[in-house]
Amino acid sequence: MSAPAAVIFDLDGVLLDSEAAWSDARRELVEETGGSWRADAPRAMLGMSSVEWSRYMREHLGVPLGDEEISRAVVERLERLYRDRLPLLPGAREAVVSLASRWPLGLASSANRPIIELVLELAKLVRCFKATVSSEEVARGKPAPDVYLEAARRLSCEPRRCTAVEDSANGIRAAAAAGMKVIAIPNADFPPARDVLGRADIALSSIDALEPRILEGLERS
């Protein structure tokens, strides 16, 4: 098998320990506006685009604002949290820099565009990524393959020659549906079910285990 054309990373849960930050920002808005937070809300919103989770917060959590207002308010809260402390996972920056020296990198994230740009700026990783895509820029969020297909298009790569790095069930489903090889780094807070994890080509315990030799092994499989 020929070498992969590119590696495409997810952001939240792969490079950032950020699920708690997203949940806190959303819960604060729900409570401040008189809505009703639900314990299953964080899992329900995993992988959703900003359009989708803003609608969910309005329709299911009772936030009395328009979808764009909801999205903007959550993003503003998250930006403050990240400027105070960016929850970059140990080994994430090193893994990105190492792989960027060998393959073109893309980013396919459910995060809003301003959050993607802020994270890459704060982490000093802007130059490592040839293309970045937010799911708010495509028709459907994960588990639909749209964000991964768009990332491959922007990288001028065939999806089947790309390898995705994912942590969540919806992310694994999205990358697999795009026809990509998938490296799973299971989310500790929201671990994928066994049958979903089985759709990945390989599973790693943490991002710092992601080394070029892992990609080289996939090439030969």
The contacts of residue 180 (CB under 8 Å, 6+ apart) are 8, 148, 152, 159, 160, 162, 163, 164
Number of H-type helices and E-type strands within the chain = 10, 6
Q: Which of 197, 201, 199, 198 is nearest to 187 (CA)?
A: 197
Catalytic residue among 10, 67, 146, 167: 10
Q: Which of 4, 11, 6 is nearest to 166 (CA)?
A: 11
Catalytic residue among 12, 67, 146, 167: 12
Q: Is 67 a catalytic residue?
A: no
Q: Is 12 a catalytic residue?
A: yes
Could you tell me the sign of the dihedral formed by the alpha carbons of 80, 100, 89, 199, in that order?
A: positive
Q: Which residues of 114-123 are buried (b: 16+ CB within 10 A; e: fewer)?
A: ebbebbbeeb
First and final CA of the chain: distance in angstroms? 7
Indicate which residues carry an active-site annotation: 10, 12
